[in-house]
A and B are shown apart, each in its own frame.
Chain A
Amino acid sequence: MNQRAPIIDIRNLDYAINGRPVFAGLDIQIPRGKVTAVMGPSGTGKTTLLRLITGQVLADGGEIKVAGQDMQALSRAELYVLRRRMGMLFQNGALLTDFSVFENVAFPLREHTDLTERLIRQLVLTKLQAVGLRGAAELMPAELSGGMSRRVALARAIVMDPELLIYDEPFVGLDPISLGVILRLIRRLNDTLGITSIVVSHDVQEISTVADQVFLLSGGKVVAGGTPQELKTNPTEIVKQFIGGLADGPVPFHFPAADYFGELMSRSEDL
């Protein structure tokens, strides 16, 4: 396979939820071996984009190629084969609550391989060591803090040695220390394992420190792309609003509503 070809190649993507278009003609190419951030205001379909990339939902039109394979044309079995090459970190970790930390990380190995117990133990402990939680192997998910859960989920996501690691909002609700740990892990895992990372987030400052490349989504399209530095100097209004965290701008402060004065008056007449 061509190592220079983008690992994810999305062209002219259309997708609508309940008739409301989320993406209309989206184009995005994500290169191999880099940390790519996908940012955007809430509700722009960042998580939906991940669901499309991982084949959890199918696009209405356009083309999504992941590692050279057309997601629209894959059978369920082929999709599962492809997913073994991906790891995904969910917003809340999504650990299996019935299993201990060790068993959670061992889960993909037990389901997909016939490795001996000894080898599984070694692999799991190695991955837990990588996220700094080897000592928590016997704990249950309910005993973990939010940051720890996410690190365990990260260990589970890398246990099958994926080529592509996807993070869905990995910084939400973390204290500064846990946040720093996750940030460093994203960079370190990407570089030491030689994988591709996609991070969906709206934490501008945090993501700028680890991402090689950033895409800013808004209104169903990529409105800006480049290195974090390039984005900071981008003169477009929407980019300035997002990066600067301004309350009003192209993304309005007010949800679309009827005329304010008119509505206030009509309510009082009804009463």
Chain B
Amino acid sequence: MFGELWESFTDALEGLGSVVHFLFRLIVNSPRVLLRFNLISQQIFNSGALSLIIIVLSGLFVGMVLGLQGFQLLQRFGSEEALGTAATIGLVKELGPVVTALLFAGRAGTALASELGLMRATDQLSAMEMMAVDPIQRVVVPRFLGGVIAMPLLAAIFSVIGIYGAQLVGVQIMGVDSGSFWSQMRSAVSLTDVTEGIAKSFAFGVACSLIAVYQGYYATPTAEGVGRATTSTVVTSAVVILFLDYLITAAFL
């Protein structure tokens, strides 16, 4: 019993070590890849632009729900003008980065993991190695950097659309005064709030992209292996995102 526990503990530690080592390899290779920015921009398109619809729609609905819930709650204290502030802080600091990252892991992360896993299973990565092209540099790093760049942009778009959604419900439907909605928001939301949101979305971007490319690159080269890599990308990303969220929130207190 104790032996098994110890074994799974050392296994987990070993896994973490190999992820960190992989991250180190990606970082070492990044400068050279940055010189070929067209490779990265293609991946920003794949991870970012192609995730836009789901991000915009989700942002709008989350914002609208916030507007509705926030209005009902604030109305009890007669302070519905604070709706702009409440919705914005909620979105920029918390919901924007977290929900975007969860959606990003589901949309872009799974696509990355299955793409790399299939490339492994169909010998495309080995073929590159045989052509003296380093697949880490040519395939993995551009996808990783594309995700790292796309994620904060998506989170920003999510928050902006979310604020618009909250305004749509709060101001247009529930009748909160438009002037106080915006002016209270501007005076109450500080730069630190925005920085916290940016820090989170960047950290989540690194985590999600790293988990996806790691799972895909080291996937067992079978149909089942690729499936497992895709599933564990979503599961691991979700847990890591929420854990990091707690850490960063605590750090900004």
Contacts and interface: CB of A to CB of B under 8 A. Distances in A.
Contacts of A83: 129-132
A94 interface: yes
A94 B128 CA distance: 9
Contacts of B126: 56, 90, 94
B123 A91 contact: yes
B79 to A, nearest CB: 54
Contact of B132 (A56, A84, A94, A156): A84
B127 A94 contact: yes
Interface in B98-136: 118-119, 122-124, 126-134
B123 A108 contact: no
Contacts of B132: 80-81, 83-84, 108, 111-112
A96 B130 CA distance: 13
A66 to B, nearest CB: 13
Contacts of A153: 127
A178 interface: no
A95 B131 CA distance: 12
Interface in B132-153: 132-134, 138
Nearest to B123: A94
Contacts of A198: none
A111 B133 contact: yes
B131 A107 contact: yes
A96 B127 CA distance: 9
B130 A86 contact: yes
Sort chain B's interface into a size bin. 10 to 19
Interface string A235-257: 00000000000000000000000
Contacts of A87: 130
A80 B122 contact: no
B122 A97 contact: yes
Given A92-B122, A97-B122, A80 B130 contact: no
Nearest to B118: A97
Nearest to A156: B131
Given A94-B122, A97-B122, A88 B127 contact: yes
A258 to B, nearest CB: 29
Contacts of A96: 124, 127-128
A213 interface: no
Contacts of A56: 126, 129-130
Contact of B124 (A86, A97, A160): A97
Interface in A70-84: 80-81, 83-84
B55 to A, nearest CB: 24
Contacts of B119: 97
Contacts of B128: 96
A195 to B, nearest CB: 15
A88 B122 contact: no
A54 B134 CA distance: 14
A172 B209 CA distance: 37
A156 B118 CA distance: 20
Contacts of B133: 107-108, 111-112
Interface in B6-62: none
Contacts of B123: 90-92, 94
Contacts of A108: 131-133
A89 to B, nearest CB: 9
B220 to A, nearest CB: 15
Interface in A88-122: 88, 90-92, 94-97, 107-108, 111-112
Nearest to A160: B131
Given A92-B122, A94-B122, A97-B122, A111 B131 contact: yes
A160 B130 CA distance: 12
Most buried by B among A56, A92, A94: A94
Contacts of B122: 92, 94, 97
A112 B131 CA distance: 9
A88 B132 CA distance: 11
Contacts of B127: 88, 90, 94-96, 153
Nearest to B125: A94
A80 B134 contact: yes
B44 to A, nearest CB: 16
Given A81-B132, A83-B130, A111 B124 contact: no
17 contacts: A54-B130, A56-B130, A81-B132, A83-B130, A87-B130, A88-B127, A90-B123, A90-B126, A90-B127, A90-B130, A92-B122, A96-B127, A97-B124, A107-B133, A108-B131, A111-B138, A160-B131
The 6 closest A-B pairs by CB, nearest first: A94-B123, A94-B127, A83-B132, A80-B132, A88-B130, A90-B123
